[in-house]
Amino acid sequence: MSSKPYILLLSFFICQLKLIAQNLPYAKGICKMLCSDEFSGRGYVNDGDALAAQFIRTQMKEIGLKPMADNYFQKFGFEVVCYPERVQLNVDGNDLFPGKDFIINPGCTGINGTFSTIKIDSALLDNTSQYNLLFSAKTRNCFLVVDQVKELKLLHPERINAILTNQVHAKGLLYCKKEKLTWGVAQHFADFPIVSILKPVLQNQPLVIDLKVDAEFKLHQTQNILGKITGKKYPDSVIVVSAHYDHLGMMGSFAKFPGANDNASGVAMMLDLAKHFSKKGSDYTLLFVAFAAEEAGLLGSLYYTENPIVPLQQIKLLLNLDLMSTGDKGMMVVNGTEFPDLFEQLKFQNSIGSYLPSIQARGKSANSDHYYFSEKGVQALFFYLMGEYHAYHDVEDDYEALTFSKYNESFELIADFIASF
């Protein structure tokens, strides 16, 4: 008798076990909640990040993670510019949708008025007398409309640079953007307002714009959230799993940046891993950290490395999860080339589990919360999944857009990798 039926039976049971390990409905529920209106894009208006922090703490409590720091919270403050009220733009009598049709520059100062425009094109930049006229007082109450920046940079590098840095002292700049609009968080006011408009929205060269922006600069209090599972064999040696929970918040009272892939998805997987290991147990202590203020410049993880709750020397490894909702094109490991043994160990786990189509390595990059840890000598890897997902730092990065196409596989891979130490 062939051993095939037994092998089939065995693999069936292994598959069943695998299906039990991760919990996609739970992760989806977490993502949906974190992207909801209640949390206002987990930024700096309507207490968005504070409410999200309370929600994550409640999840950690329910999972049974032991509180770290001050009842799970490591508090700190930082300066930030935010937009709690009006961000409105009307072009030649037409109201545009904030976030969809236009964005302001992060750190845009408050402004309220009606302004005429001056079109900056190659003909104007070619003509020295016309170009010099831009430096007259007339320009001071105008917005300069700049289209095809790349082309202008090639043809007139010095003059376009003077325009883009607003050496002509215009009221502000108006960019026509062919592709997507991308926003961010600023800690200081910018020197002048910049409005980016999607090109298809602008039928004609705009003549008059009406712009209202209420901007607020504040010292904002926030918190990292930390909970742990004590290791059975090596309680003093710690594997950290981290994911930032903040996002960009709101650009005015209408445009919400939900931050689904970035990074509700990473928080959901981190909590799901916490759930998994709270049942299964771990040889090493596992510390789960939801970092704050990543989008404002990795501020939560920087604060931790300067004020560690678990000393950095006790951290055996840090795995940072950010952008975890796809995976059709595999996973990227930032710092993979810095820590080749860890990378090989991860690839081995992937090959025996046949989880993701590819695992790739990159070098150092200050692009998420692993960065200050590895700069201070901690072995730290940053995982992000790759696939067909184009929303990023925009209003489209919402729960409905998530596919979770390789959620189960990437969860299993990371869980196996953690258990392999």
Query: Contact residues for Zn ion (CB under 5 A)?
Result: 262-263, 322
CB 216 → Zn ion: shortest distance, Å?
A: 23
Q: Which is nearer to Zn ion, 272 or 416 (CB)?
A: 272
CB 122 → Zn ion: shortest distance, Å?
A: 38
262 closest CA partner among 402, 360, 359, 75? 402
CB 323 → Zn ion: shortest distance, Å?
A: 6
Q: Which is nearer to Zn ion, 285 or 368 (CB)?
A: 368
Q: How many alpha carbons lie under 13 Å from residue 82 in its C-beta half-sphere? A: 27
CB 368 → Zn ion: shortest distance, Å?
A: 6
Q: How far is CA 377 from the centre of its chain?
A: 24
The contacts of residue 57 (CB under 8 Å, 6+ apart) are: 71, 72, 73, 225
Letter for the amino acid at 77? G
Q: Which is nearer to Zn ion, 262 or 272 (CB)?
A: 262
Question: Rounded to an integer, what distance in angstroms lies between the CA atom of residue 164 and that of residue 308?
Answer: 41
Q: Which is nearer to Zn ion, 83 or 384 (CB)?
A: 384
CB 247 → Zn ion: shortest distance, Å?
A: 8
CB 384 → Zn ion: shortest distance, Å?
A: 9
38 closest CA partner among 26, 46, 30, 29? 46
Residue nearest to Zn ion (CB): 262
The contacts of residue 124 (CB under 8 Å, 6+ apart) are: 130, 131, 134
CB 244 → Zn ion: shortest distance, Å?
A: 6
Letter for the amino acid at 272? D
Q: Which is nearer to Zn ion, 184 or 353 (CB)?
A: 184
Letter for the amino acid at 232? K
Question: Rounded to an integer, what distance in angstroms lies between the CA atom of residue 283 and that of residue 419?
Answer: 8
- Give the count of beta carbons closer than 10 Å to the beta carbon of residue 219: 8
Question: Rounded to an integer, what distance in angstroms lies between the CA atom of residue 55 and that of residue 32?
Answer: 12
Q: Which is nearer to Zn ion, 136 or 365 (CB)?
A: 365
Q: Which is nearer to Zn ion, 262 or 416 (CB)?
A: 262
